[in-house]
Structure 1
Amino acid sequence: MDYFSIDGTNNELFVLFHGTGGNEYSLLQIAGDINPHAHILSFIGDVDSHASRRFFAPLQTGQLQRADFNKRVDAFLAQWAEMPPHNGPITFIGYSNGANFILGLLEKAPAIAARVILMHPSNLHYTFSTGSDAHIFITTGARDTLAPAGQVLALEKQLRAHFPHTTLQLLDGAHEVSDEEITYLQHVIQPLV
């Protein structure tokens, strides 16, 4: 999977996963608003292109195409294992399709990051057999029809059973990253260095 990298001035690494139709630049402003000094690796989904670019095959009748999803998660984890190790704290950040992809990574590698930010994830019946001490921050909008608040609340409860440091922030918005969301993340996400 291709990615874009930016060297930072402190020891923290942000790993970014855009939403459907996004690209490797989509979350750079958000990452910069949270910690302008972090190193950045921003991955680009390799399924379809442009307006439909994503990290895994589209849902079928509201469900993951599990074989494709697992194959792509495994491919990323193999790529990640070959990358030079990062000696500082790592934060994974995903929006929508990217957040859902991160949840697949947490199924198989629960300690992949010290901190995880899931913006507008969907509850797609993930299976977590183990967890970690990673801090997981979930945000969604009360008017989000693609990631309904009730389903995201159920996802938060499922995650909390394996990742005890999980919090959910329900905001007044739809399926988009709002200024209120960025302000919330700026307050709760402090540099880990």
Structure 2
Amino acid sequence: MEYIYQEGLQTAPPLLLLHGTGGDEHSLIDLANALSPDSTVLSLRGRVSEAGANRFFRRFAEGQFDLVDLEVQTDYLLAFLIEFSNTHNIALSDWVVVGYSNGANIGAHLLLERMESPNRGIFFHGMSLGKHEADFDLAKKSVWFSAGINDPIVPQEATKALVDAFQMRHGQTDVLWTKQGHQLTYEEVASAKEWLATKGALK
């Protein structure tokens, strides 16, 4: 798996970066530096190519996801992260998964559907994929979401369904709604940074 690794301070939460469709391992580095400049950063490139655009799992069309491939890629992502964490002496639960769009979708799926996974997530413009089969308690999971009420790609109902999936299993959630579309905004970054400094901090 192609990635960028930047070692930071052990006192800062390590960040796992998952880009959106068409991005790569470089796409969210500036975001990570804005959120927590002292953090260790592991930024991954999605393994799936859609007409040359990198993704973390396949889809058949906009909003029509290949749920079989989603499970395959989620398992691969988790196995990679476990091995990487062991090699670099980082607790799996300490990672904060930072995902945008497609990266937010697989990141949220990882926390929802795999019991052995990071405990915190920052998800920009993610959505429910319509598949939540696990039922283990999420009381230890703390997740921040952002969404735009004018997002042409992610319907409000799909974001609400994702948040509900965490809340129904006792996950701790914070949600920022903006009047913007699918793009990242300064408002979102500032809110996520504040959340990370408090609820996302290492215990």
Instruction: Give the Cα–Cα distance (whole angstroms) in 1 for the partners of residues 54 and 75 of structure 2.
Output: 19
- 1:117 partner SS: strand
1:187 equivalent to 2:201? Answer no
May I ask how many residue pairs the two structures share in their alignment? 193
- The residue that corresponds to 1:168 in the other structure is 175
1:17-53: CA deviations, max 9, x gaps?
0000011111111111111000000010011178621
* 4+ runs deviating over 6 angstroms: none
Instruction: Give the Cα–Cα distance (whole angstroms) in 1 for the partners of residues 68 and 147 of structure 2.
Output: 27
1:84-95 equivalences in 2 (<5 Å): 84=86, 85-87=89-91, 89-95=94-100
- The residue that corresponds to 1:124 in the other structure is 129
Instruction: Give the Cα–Cα distance (whole angstroms) in 2 for the partners of residues 162 and 92 of structure 1.
Output: 19
Residue identity opposite 1:34 in structure 2: L
Q: TM-score, normalised by structure 1?
A: 0.90
Q: How far does residue 63 in structure 1 lie from its aligned partner after superposition? A: 2.9
Q: TM-score, normalised by structure 2?
A: 0.86
Given the superposition, is the C-alpha separation of residues 49 and 152 from structure 1 closer, same or farther in structure 2, using an over 3 Å criterion? closer
Q: How far does residue 183 in structure 1 lie from its aligned partner after superposition? A: 1.4
Instruction: Give the Cα–Cα distance (whole angstroms) in 1 for the partners of residues 31 and 62 of structure 2.
Output: 31
Structure 2 regions of 5+ residues with no counterpart? Answer: none
Instruction: Give the Cα–Cα distance (whole angstroms) in 2 for the partners of residues 20 and 136 of structure 1.
Output: 22
* Preserved CA contact (<8 Å) 2:78 2:117: no
Given the alignment, which residue of 98, 101, 104 partners 1:96?
A: 101
| Identity, % of aligned positions | 26
Instruction: Give the Cα–Cα distance (whole angstroms) in 1 for the partners of residues 192 and 6 of structure 2.
Output: 21
* Preserved CA contact (<8 Å) 1:45 1:53: yes
1:61-90: CA deviations, max 9, x gaps?
733211111111111222222222404832
- 1:21 partner SS: coil
Structure 1 regions of 5+ residues with no counterpart? Answer: none
- The residue that corresponds to 1:6 in the other structure is 6
- The residue that corresponds to 2:65 in the other structure is 64
Given the superposition, is the C-alpha separation of residues 79 and 7 from structure 1 closer, same or farther in structure 2, using an over 3 Å criterion? same
